[in-house]
């Protein structure tokens, strides 16, 4: 909204246009917050970003504070300035007065010690600010502080509904001075949070509402130990004044509306009142509620208690003794709460433990301030293998073609992804194969289609060899072994010509084209059954299905349009219970087609298998008891699991596979798995992070310990 006032020239679009890029500063240090005015908040914000500055708190569309690389940058601003353009509207005037009250407090404080600074929240004579526990909230998942959809982590822009609940009742009215004192304290608390982590680029967009109600306050002791009876008395009439149905659920609607209207990453609602509360300050779900008196801490400490409550809303856990905190994980990244005073080890001063403006490393990570979000690993592909010694090797390639290895050696995970391990060159793609002689082969396709190979035998990696066996230029590799440990390495050239290098006995055949008159193919996949019949499937460049099978002593040769197969995008053969071979195909319209071979006979292709007619992709892994696990990614990006535990019987697709309380809800496009020698499955997915800083190539990990799946972990091994 613009405030064009009498006698003021409207700021013309031309004045405010950014026609050139300002010279970029080399220093990363920033000015303090500078109070600025604008007639066009969008243009002002864009201009400040061009200067590499940032709005930290926007109080109204007319008045805000920003940081700039240098004080001299203020002179470059055309879309905002330090002088106001004319008289202020009501809310801008509150913000203006509050900002100056805050500045006056900062100046005065230089000489006056704050006697409560650094006192634990549960110090004798003081009450701590609370967080609503899951039990208080009745198990409604959307209201959990950790996992609240509008405040998963504190990175980016946040819309705040700042609602001051005044009253016509005696003693419950906010005077103008008390209103600006409240806003000044909120500014001070949020200023701390906006500057606590530069990489988080936190900014708050205020939506100030001053509401007066005439509700009669409840009698003393009415509130009891539940938040709702006292909250509802003032909350519901205020929600009604704001245009929402008068009930608690409307808070979520309010928060969603704040986020949408202000086009921010996140949102929450902050209430201040003089009405009785079950506790003077608490937070839960999308809101915090605070009394102006602020318990025994007093109004001068509202900023610290408020910052504490906002931290709760974004996933931070309490750390003071009376909260009964423990080391349990909290926040989007599920970070252990190790600075909780009840958790063993060293402790440091922290906003979640005491009345102070500092944040410990655990709280920082609970707020999402971690390289896992600032600088995530973005993988195209992950390939795990397990060797005879139960070592796990997990190979990955990121979107920049950097190859990585992590692993578990002698039961200990390395804990990090090793980039360019053993001097691996940039690779577009890797394939890994374990064979029955306990050799691990890694085949990588370089950015110029050169084949690179590394082989681990006798528990030692070799060095990377380029152009292994004078390989032709290749676009992809498929490698597998039969039960006699003959190793097949198929390479597909960029023109879809197929080459084979086969290891039999003690030697490699060298690369051969035209093996059994192989047609040009897009992909190859194979399975060996327990009778050592080998089935090698190929998808032609026109999506025709081919099969070359080895049964008994002879090869069938490549069979065109095998078994009247439909045209397929991809094919996945897998071995199930009782030596049944299953072949899953994804059709051109993503229809799932199945063919299986039981007692030496193929069923023929059929569709409509299972309850999900269409799939984006599927992945299969067989456990040590021959149970076949089939993971599918539906057209909606959800993960499904189907298991074959009894001959020719499947459990059916289990949707949303992972963990019931999992709030990552990853939307995947890639999934892979391996069972280790103890039959423990390890599953990796790559998918979309649906939230801010969203990305298409986020890595997730899930594994099972005993009967319990751990649940998806975001950015595992970082
Ligand atoms: Zn708390």
Going by C-alpha positions, the residue among 554, 608, 555, 618 that lies closest to residue 586 is: 618
pLDDT category at 137 given cuts 50, 70, 90 is: very low
What confidence tens digit (pLDDT) does each residue in 227-261 have? 999 999 999 999 999 999 999 999 999 999 999 99
Question: For the CA atoms of 681, 642, 613, 689, what is the dihedral angle to 10 degrees?
Answer: -40
pLDDT digits (tens, 9 = 90+) for 565-622: 999 999 999 999 999 999 999 999 999 999 999 989 999 999 988 888 899 999 999 9
Q: Which element (helix H / strand E) includes 257? A: helix 250-262
**Residue 703: its pLDDT value, please?**
85
pLDDT score of 183 more than 60? yes
- Three-class SS of residue 655? coil
More confident: 113 or 387: 387
Contact in structure between 387 and 438 (CB atoms under 8 Å) = yes
Distance in Å, CA 235 to ligand 1 centroid: 21
Reading the block at residue 379, the tokens are: 């993988």
The domain tally of the chain equals 3
Distance 318 CA to ligand 1 centre (A): 5
How far is the centre of ligand 1, averaged over its atoms, from the C-alpha of 126 (Å)?
A: 13
Averaged pLDDT for residues 383-390: 96
Q: How far is the CA of 150 from the centre of ligand 1 (A)?
A: 19
Ligand 1 mean position, distance from CA 309 (Å): 6
389 and 302, same structural domain? Answer: no
- How far apart are the CA of 503 and the centre of ligand 1, in A? 64
Residue 650, CA distances (Å) to 576, 621, 622, 634, 645 in order: 10, 14, 14, 18, 7
Q: What rounded mean pLDDT belongs to the chain?
A: 90
C-alpha 471 to ligand 1 mean position (Å)? 63
Residues 6+ apart with CB under 8 A from 204: 56, 57, 58, 157, 158, 159, 160, 190, 193, 194
Q: Is pLDDT above 70 for 132?
A: no
- Say how many Å lie between the CA of residue 337 and the centre of ligand 1: 13
d(CA 511, CA 434): 20
Please answer whether residues 323 and 128 qualify as being in contact, where contact means their C-beta atoms are separated by less than 8 angstroms: yes
| Per-residue model confidence (pLDDT) at position 123 | 86
Max mean pLDDT range (71-75, 138-142, 143-147, 708-712):
71-75
Q: Is the pLDDT of residue 4 over 50?
A: no
Q: How far is the CA of 262 from the centre of ligand 1 (A)?
A: 28
**Domain end call among 620, 652, 681:** 620
CA of 344 to the centre of ligand 1 (A): 20
Task: Please indicate, yes or no, whether residues 394 and 493 belong to a single structural domain of this protein.
Answer: yes
In a domain, 629, yes or no: no
CA of 263 to the centre of ligand 1 (A): 28
- Expressed in angstroms and rounded, the spacing between residue 317 Cα and the centre of ligand 1 is 7
Query: Which residues lie across from 66 on neighbouring strands?
Result: 34, 55
How much is the pLDDT for 24? Answer: 46
Which tens digit of pLDDT belongs to each residue from 311-352?
999 999 999 998 889 999 899 888 999 999 999 999 999 999
**Could you tell me the pLDDT band of residue 21, with boundaries at 50, 70 and 90?**
very low
Using H for helix, E for strand and C for coil, what is the string for 537-550? EEEECCCCEEEEEE
Residue 359 alpha carbon to ligand 1 centre in Å? 13
Over 50: is that where the pLDDT of 5 sits?
no
Q: What is the mean pLDDT of residues 8-34?
A: 57
Rounded distance from Cα 229 to ligand 1 centre (Å) = 20
Structure tokens at 38: 């604008």
What pLDDT does residue 247 have?
97
The reply to whether 381 falls in a domain is yes
Query: CA 445 to CA 440: how far, in whole Å?
Result: 17
Residue 129 CA to ligand 1 centre (angstroms): 5
Whole-number Å distance between alpha carbons of 98 and 96: 5
Task: State residue 318's pLDDT score.
Answer: 93
**% of the chain with per-residue pLDDT over 70:** 92
* 209 C-alpha to ligand 1 centroid (Å): 25
Which helix H or strand E contains 192, and what residues bound it?
helix 176-195
**What does the pLDDT average to over 387-409?**
96
For position 141, which CATH number holds? 3.40.390
Of 23-37, 234-248, 264-278, minimum mean pLDDT range: 23-37
Give the single-character DSSP code of 562.
Answer: G
Residue 642 within a domain: no
Residue 7 scores a pLDDT above 70 = no
My answer on whether 447 and 577 are in the same domain is yes
Q: How far is the CA of 305 from the centre of ligand 1 (A)?
A: 8
Confidence (pLDDT) at 484: 92
- Would strands 157-167 and 266-273 be described as parallel, antiparallel, or unpaired? parallel
Question: Which of 318, 345, 363 is the endpoint of a domain?
Answer: 318
Position 703 in a domain: no
What is the domain range of residue 259? 130-318
For residues 66 and 196, membership in a common domain is answered with: no
Instruction: Give the pLDDT score at 385.
Output: 97
Ligand 1 centre to CA of 122 (Å) is: 10
- What is the distance in A from the centroid of ligand 1 to the CA of 130? 4
CA of 13 to the centre of ligand 1 (A): 47
Q: Cα–Cα–Cα angle for 340, 343, 349, nearest 5°?
A: 35
CATH number of domain containing 491: 2.120.10.70
pLDDT number for residue 317 = 93
Going from the Cα of 165 to the center of ligand 1, the distance in angstroms, rounded, reads 22
Please tell me the distance between residue 319's alpha carbon and the centre of ligand 1 in angstroms.
8
Rounded to the nearest angstrom, the distance between the alpha carbon of 275 and the centre of ligand 1 is 20
pLDDT at position 655 over 70 = yes
Q: Are strands 592-598 and 606-607 parallel, antiparallel or unpaired?
A: antiparallel
CA of 266 from ligand 1 middle (Å) equals 20
* Segment 533-562, tens digit of pLDDT: 999 999 999 999 999 999 988 999 999 999
Distance from the alpha carbon of residue 308 to the mean position of ligand 1, in angstroms = 6
> Cβ-count burial of 93 within 10 angstroms (0-12 exposed, 13-18 middle, 19+ buried)?
middle
- Tell me how far the alpha carbon of residue 67 lies from the centroid of ligand 1, in angstroms: 30
> Rounded to whole angstroms, how far apart are CA atoms 625 and 420?
36
Q: Say whether both 70 and 202 belong to one domain.
A: no
What would the mean pLDDT of 263-289 be, rounded to a whole number?
A: 95
pTM for the predicted model, two decimal places: 0.83
- C-alpha 320 – ligand 1 centre gap (Å): 8
The last residue of one of the domains, among 88, 122, 141, is 88
Are residues 588 and 467 part of one domain? yes
Domain contains 326: no
Whether 449 and 432 have beta carbons less than 8 Å apart is answered as no
Check whether residue 400 and residue 489 sit in a common domain: yes
Residue 134 alpha carbon to ligand 1 centre in Å: 14
- One domain, residues 57 and 154: no
Q: How many angstroms separate the CA atoms of 342 and 323, rounded? A: 9
Q: What is the C-alpha separation between 363 and 333, in angstroms, rounded?
A: 11
Distance 627 CA to ligand 1 centre (A): 47
pLDDT recorded at residue 110:
56
378 and 308, same domain (yes or no): no
Poorest-pLDDT segment among 247-261, 372-386, 687-701 = 687-701
The model's confidence at residue 652, banded by pLDDT at 50, 70 and 90, is very high
| CB-CB neighbours of 40 under 10 Å | 19
DSSP 361-378: HHHHHHTT-SHHHHS--B
Q: Does residue 693 carry a pLDDT above 50?
A: yes
Percent of the chain residues past pLDDT 90, beyond the cut:
75
pLDDT confidence of residue 536: 98
Q: How far is the CA of 242 from the centre of ligand 1 (A)?
A: 28
The answer on 309 and 224 residing in a single domain is yes
Yes or no: say if 289 and 274 are a contact pair by the CB < 8 Å rule: no
Nearest to 166 by CA among 292, 274, 299: 274
Residue 389 lies inside a defined structural domain of this protein: yes
- CA geometry: angle 212, 216, 217, nearest 5 deg: 95
Burial class of residue 116, CB neighbours in 10 A (0-12, 13-18, 19+): middle
Per-residue confidence (pLDDT) for residue 26, from 0 to 100: 44
Residue 125's pLDDT band, with cuts at 50, 70 and 90, is: confident
Give me ligand 1 centre to Cα 714, in Å. 26
Measured in Å, residue 268 CA sits from the centre of ligand 1 at: 16
Q: How far is the CA of 282 from the centre of ligand 1 (A)?
A: 7
Measure 277 CA to ligand 1 centroid, in angstroms. Answer: 15
Listed range (147-151, 407-411, 615-619, 691-695) with the worst mean pLDDT: 691-695
Please check whether residues 298 and 447 belong to one and the same domain. Answer: no
pLDDT of residue 144: 40
Nearest to 262 by CA among 208, 210, 205: 205
Cα of 349 from ligand 1 centre, angstroms: 15
How close is the Cα of 249 to the center of ligand 1, in Å? 22
Identify the residue with better confidence: 508 or 24.
Answer: 508
Burial grade of 209 (CB within 10 A; 0-12, 13-18, 19 or more): middle
Residue 628 belongs to some domain of the structure? no
Q: Name the pLDDT band for 17 (thresholds 50, 70, 90).
A: low
Cβ contacts of 148 within 8 Å, gap of 6 or more: 142, 285, 286, 313
Residue 76 sits in the same domain as residue 141: no
| Nearest Cα to Cα of residue 227 among 166, 154, 280 | 280
Ligand 1 centroid to Cα of residue 330, in Å, is: 13
Cα radius of gyration (the chain):
31
| Residue-level pLDDT at 570 | 97
Q: What is the mean pLDDT of residues 438-447?
A: 97
- Indicate if the pLDDT at residue 11 is higher than 90: no
CA of 154 to the centre of ligand 1 (A): 16
In a domain, 173, yes or no: yes
């Amino acid at each position: 909204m613009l405030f064009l006032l009498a006698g003021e020239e409207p700021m013309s679009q031309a004045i405010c246009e950014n026609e050139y890029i300002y010279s970029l500063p080399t220093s990363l240090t920033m000015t303090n917050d500078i109070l600025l005015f604008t007639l066009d908040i969008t243009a002002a914000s864009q201009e400040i970003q061009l200067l590499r500055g940032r709005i930290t708190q926007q109080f109204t569309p007319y008045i805000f504070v920003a940081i700039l690389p240098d004080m001299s940058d203020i002179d470059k601003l055309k879309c905002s300035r330090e002088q106001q353009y004319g008289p202020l509207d009501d809310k801008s005037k509150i913000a203006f007065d509050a900002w100056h009250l805050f500045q006056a407090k900062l100046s005065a404080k230089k000489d006056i010690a704050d006697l409560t600074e650094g006192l634990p929240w549960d110090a004798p004579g003081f009450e701590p600010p609370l967080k609503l526990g899951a039990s208080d909230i009745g198990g409604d998942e959307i209201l959990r502080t950790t996992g609240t959809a509008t405040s998963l982590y504190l990175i980016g822009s946040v819309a705040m509904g700042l609602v001051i609940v005044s009253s016509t009742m005696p003693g419950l009215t906010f005077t103008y001075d008390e209103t600006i004192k409240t806003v000044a304290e909120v500014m001070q608390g949020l200023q701390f949070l906006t500057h606590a982590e530069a990489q988080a680029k936190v900014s708050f967009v205020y939506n100030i509402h001053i509401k007066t109600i005439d509700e009669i306050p409840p009698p003393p002791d009415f509130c009891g130990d539940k938040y709702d009876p006292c909250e509802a008395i003032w909350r519901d009439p205020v929600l009604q004044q704001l245009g929402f149905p008068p009930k608690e659920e409307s808070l979520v609607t309010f928060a969603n509306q704040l986020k949408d209207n202000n086009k921010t990453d996140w949102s929450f609602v902050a209430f201040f009142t003089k009405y009785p509360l079950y506790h003077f300050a608490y937070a839960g779900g999308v809101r915090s509620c605070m009394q102006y008196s602020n318990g025994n801490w007093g109004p001068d400490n509202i900023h610290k208690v408020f910052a504490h409550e906002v931290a709760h809303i974004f996933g931070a856990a309490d750390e003071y003794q009376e909260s009964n905190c423990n080391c349990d994980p909290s926040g989007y990244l599920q970070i252990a709460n190790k600075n909780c005073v009840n958790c063993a080890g060293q402790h440091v001063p922290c906003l979640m433990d005491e009345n102070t403006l500092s944040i410990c490393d655990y709280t920082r990570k609970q707020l999402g301030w971690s390289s896992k979000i600032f600088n995530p690993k973005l993988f195209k592909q992950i390939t795990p293998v397990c060797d005879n010694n139960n070592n796990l090797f997990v190979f990955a390639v990121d979107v920049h073609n950097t190859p990585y290895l992590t692993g578990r050696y002698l039961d200990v995970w390395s804990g990090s992804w090793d980039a360019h391990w053993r001097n691996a060159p940039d690779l577009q793609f890797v394939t890994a194969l374990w064979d029955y002689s306990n050799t691990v082969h890694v085949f990588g396709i370089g950015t110029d289609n050169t084949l690179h190979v590394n082989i681990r035998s006798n528990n030692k990696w070799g060095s990377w060899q380029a152009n292994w066996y004078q390989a032709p230029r290749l676009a992809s590799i498929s490698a597998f072994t039969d039960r006699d440990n003959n190793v097949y390495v198929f390479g597909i050239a960029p023109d879809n010509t197929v080459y084979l290098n086969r290891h039999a006995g003690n030697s490699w055949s060298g690369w051969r084209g035209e093996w059994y008159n192989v047609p040009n193919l897009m992909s190859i996949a194979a399975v060996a059954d327990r009778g050592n019949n080998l089935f090698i499937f190929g998808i032609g460049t026109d999506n025709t299905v081919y099969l070359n099978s080895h049964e008994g002593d002879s090869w069938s040769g490549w069979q065109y349009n095998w078994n009247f197969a439909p045209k397929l995008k991809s094919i996945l053969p897998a071995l199930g219970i009782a030596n049944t071979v299953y072949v899953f195909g994804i059709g051109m319209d993503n229809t799932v087609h199945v063919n299986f071979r039981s007692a030496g006979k193929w069923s023929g292709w059929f569709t409509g298998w299972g309850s999900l007619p269409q799939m984006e992709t599927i992945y299969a892994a067989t456990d040590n008891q021959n149970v076949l696990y089939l993971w599918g990614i539906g057209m909606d990006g959800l993960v499904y699991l189907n298991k074959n535990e009894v001959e020719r019987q499947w459990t059916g697709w289990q949707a949303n596979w992972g963990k019931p309380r999992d709030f990552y809800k990853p939307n995947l496009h890639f999934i892979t798995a391996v069972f280790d020698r103890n039959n423990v499955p390890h599953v990796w997915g790559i998918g979309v992070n649906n939230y801010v800083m969203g990305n298409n190539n986020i890595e997730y990990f899930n594994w099972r310990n005993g009967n319990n799946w751990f649940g998806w972990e975001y950015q595992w091994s970082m």
